[in-house]
Amino acid sequence: MKSALITTFLFLMTTGLYAQDTGRGFPLLEIAPTPYSLSKSEATTSVTDGSASIYSNPALLALNDISSIDLGYSSWVAGVNNIFGGVNFRNDKRAIAFAFYTSGASDYEQRNNPGPSNGTFSIGYISIAAAYAYDFNYFTVGGSFQYLNEQNYTYRANGYAFSAGIASQFLDDRLRAGASISNLGEMEVLVSEATNLPTNFKVGTSADVIRFLPPKNDNLPILVKVFADYVHPLQDIADKDFADYEFSDPYFNLGLAFNVAEVIEISGGFKPNNDIRPVSFGAAFMVSELAFNYALVPFNTGYGTVHSIGLQYQF
């Protein structure tokens, strides 16, 4: 079982049960569900990521070339595990997607006073989502609905959230742009207050900057891609990612990727305003209909490093 110190830390940071302060946000919705997005510091409001686009910009679902099944697993800090699964059905100009996304940790010791524990408890968050997107040729629009559930000790609460977005491509699809409003909704009361949802307005752009051939090797073209998101929080949510900081002002997420022959992609990300996890790194390997993704996100708080793996099957 994990230590009582980590128990108290995580318990207070996520829902504030003893402090009677549950307005600290729904942390699951502040973490990208796949390593593909995590590796780019979540600067993916204009970047297709299969069914995971439900959580960044649902309009992107209609910009995917074909349908896909997506799986993701992240070993987060403080013993938290995030699991994602989804499917995006692409049909002509339409796309419909379904996904589940969970986060939780168990076997935490509960104490009211020093001494023997009163037992163990779990913390968990669940999102079950459905989305629809349509391609109007010059742009796509999309929307999603989420059923939400949170559990802390013996307390549970349900809720809902809506997201909507728009996206487009230019210059033979070399330049992409998107905008979205995410997580508009509310939760039931947990203990004494309802948890605030991390509602954000986001604008993003991404571009294929340059393609070049390495010296003496014409079979390995390298494409350099850049990503940038501007995020404006519409709720003052503190203590995201189980770490002591908050964002109430707008901020940026930035990403860079090198794609080699459409087989291997090396990527990195930077969050200029985030002192807790400012950088991220990742790699992807694509073969036929399968894509394998990995992301590494170091934390500066001393709580460890996030490892995330994912698989996408296109059909």
Residue 149 belongs to domain with CATH number: 2.40.160.40
Q: How far apart are CA 305 and CA 217, in angstroms?
A: 36
pLDDT at 89: 97
pLDDT exceeds 90 at position 75: yes
Q: Which of 281, 287, 259, 260 is nearest to 269 (CA)?
A: 281
pLDDT exceeds 50 at position 54: yes
pLDDT band with cut points at 50, 70 and 90 for residue 257: very high
pLDDT at 118: 65
pLDDT at 2: 43
pTM: 0.84
Average pLDDT over residues 129-149: 97
pLDDT exceeds 90 at position 238: no
Give how many domains the chain has, as a whole number.
1
Task: Give the domain range for residue 230.
Answer: 4-314
Residues 267, 282 contacting (CB under 8 angstroms): yes
pLDDT band with cut points at 50, 70 and 90 for residue 275: confident
Instruction: Give the pair of three-digit tokens for residue 210.
Output: 């340059």
Instruction: Give the pair of three-digit tokens for residue 288.
Output: 């036929």
Residues 81, 113 contacting (CB under 8 angstroms): no
Q: In the chain, what percentage of residues exceed pLDDT 90?
A: 68
pLDDT exceeds 50 at position 198: yes
pLDDT band with cut points at 50, 70 and 90 for residue 107: low
